[in-house]
Structure 1
Amino acid sequence: MTTSYSGALRKMRTHADDNNTVNYQLPIGEHKVDINPVIGQKVSLDFTGDINCVHCNRKTKKSFSQGYCYPCLISLAQCDSCIIKPEKCHYHEGTCREPQWGEEHCFSEHFVYLANTGNVKVGITRHVTDGVSSRWMDQGATQATVMLRVTDRLTSGLVEMLCKEHIGDKTNWRTMLKSAPDQVDLLEVKATILSKIADGLAQIQQTKGIQAVSEADGEVHNIHYPVDTYPEKIKSINLDKTPEFEGVLTGIKGQYWMLDGDRVINIRKYAGYNVNLHVG
């Protein structure tokens, strides 16, 4: 029996269960499709050619920054360059695109974390719900721990810059998808990094106050993904070039579907794309 869904895609929603296994739900139009039970089944998906902005729903020929139309790209605070590089926050200069949005999202507590996504990386997240951040799950991290607690987004960017002198901040998505990586002693890495950036943190505290940055006591979370088979030689599906595909779903990690034939597709990349999905 085949079940069909139609509508605009959104990034998969994630939730870690009591065993820290990631459960995925795919928003597609008005539907919320639980994807973990689909693993092992045949799926087919076809892109209709229509794209709607994930913010204003305007029809657009091209999607920017994972789902936005061009007018939203250049006007929304959430699409500004300081979202990718928070050390470039310019709210204090009076030039924030949307001051109210900035106050709600950038002037709240942030965490600087370490994660193992195939290589150990540093990153920033606002939310650590039930101990496991959705950001870690979106990046396909198999281990993660919080390192520092900061008072706002700009400070988190300054701290991340200190860390980046000693550790990377990028995920190699191909490495992440090829296998479950070897475990790393993240607490040892954390201690090493904190030692190396101690002087820099002290300078930030002198400027912004002692409470601006504090060490976060956090356990290492081991995160598990619903994967039956990892691809050996990755072949990425591009909906703009290949608007239709079908195959057996063999696993999900990060925001990627894995399919037989070593194929993968980044679902988040195609937010706003209108598709027809058939399962079974």
Structure 2
Amino acid sequence: MTYQGVLTKMKTELAENVQYYLIFEEDFLNMNQVLDKKLAINFLNYECTACKKKKKVFANGVCYNCFMELPQNGEWVIRPELSKAHLDTEDRDLEFEKAVQLQPHVVYLANSSNVKVGVTRKSEIPTRWIDQGAHEAIEIVEVPNRYLAGITEVALKEHLSDKTNWRSMLTNDLKDLDLVAIREEMRQYLPAEVADYYLANSRELEIKFPVLSYPAKCKTLNLAKMPFYEGVLKGIKGQYLIFEDGMVFNVRKHEGFNVSLSLS
């Protein structure tokens, strides 16, 4: 059976084990049903997910022009402390920026390989945690806009990492930690502007991923350098496919890659 389409990040559904779906323009594939089967991935060409032109992808699934022009690729996306919509100040498109920035945001702790602090829109929980491969996570504050979340993250990054060790996450080199206790410890470092938004009663969420076996070591599949790969799928975690031979494939990093997928 063969599927073809432009890759975008897998859609997810929180369940006993997270359910994963690859969505194409005319079809979809429940990736959980591919576990323990041989999957062949063949890179055909690039297609910008924004303008749909057959142009090389620069970042985030879009070509260079779209990356430089579209409001969803502004610097405030990666650095939320740079958000300015609450000041009625435009970066690229004020209407878009208001719609995204002026809504409830959450600052959280997630444990994927180590405890990290992060920011996401409230509507993206638990999707954001699943995408990061976090096996446990907890909310710290819920604030009314992205700027307040951003300055909170900046303050807490002085005491916690904001990065995930993806190799540890994919080899399951993990520790279960008391996120409630860490949340309480971080409370003292919150900026004064967000102190009243602290979530003293938030609960830790545990997430289980569909992984049959973890590799002892992993190596990354880059379709731009290796346009064809075939292997037995043994797990899915974060936005990664984990194969029997230790190869791991970051679906999100390959957004904008038009591929064919064959199952056997």
TM-score of the superposed pair, with normalisation by structure 1: 0.90
Verify the 8 A CA contact 2:90 2:97 in the aligned structure 1.
Answer: no
Answer yes or no: is 1:228 the counterpart of 2:212. yes
Specify the alignment match of 1:185 in structure 2. Answer: 178
Verify the 8 A CA contact 1:147 1:217 in the aligned structure 2.
Answer: no
Matches within 5 A, 1:1-40: 3-17=1-15, 19=16, 21-40=17-36
Among 38, 43, 60, the residue aligned to 1:66:
60
Matches within 5 A, 1:169-248: 169-179=162-172, 181-195=174-188, 197-198=189-190, 201-202=191-192, 204=193, 213-215=197-199, 217-248=201-232
* 1:10 CA displacement: 1.1
Specify the alignment match of 1:279 in structure 2. Answer: 263
* 1:99 CA displacement: 0.9
Verify the 8 A CA contact 1:249 1:259 in the aligned structure 2.
Answer: yes
Give 3-state SS (helix, strand or coil) of 1:156's partner: helix
Matches within 5 A, 1:43-58: 43-48=39-44, 50-58=45-53
Give 3-state SS (helix, strand or coil) of 2:122's partner: coil
Number of aligned positions between the proteins: 263
Answer yes or no: is 1:111 the counterpart of 2:79. no
How far apart in 2 are the matches of 1:79 and 1:53?
Answer: 14
Among 37, 60, 80, the residue aligned to 1:86:
80
In structure 2, stretches of 5+ residues that fail to align are none
Verify the 8 A CA contact 2:47 2:54 in the aligned structure 1.
Answer: yes
**Range with bigger deviation, 120-129 or 266-275:** 120-129
Q: Deviations over 1:41-68 (max 9, x none)?
A: 01101001x211112212212x122201
In structure 1, stretches of 5+ residues that fail to align are none
- Read off the aligned partner of 1:137 and give its amino acid letter: I
* 1:216 CA displacement: 5.5
Give 3-state SS (helix, strand or coil) of 1:215's partner: coil
Q: CA RMSD in A?
A: 1.6
How far apart in 2 are the matches of 1:216 and 1:85?
Answer: 26
* 1:93 CA displacement: 6.8
TM-score of the superposed pair, with normalisation by structure 2: 0.95
* 1:175 CA displacement: 1.2
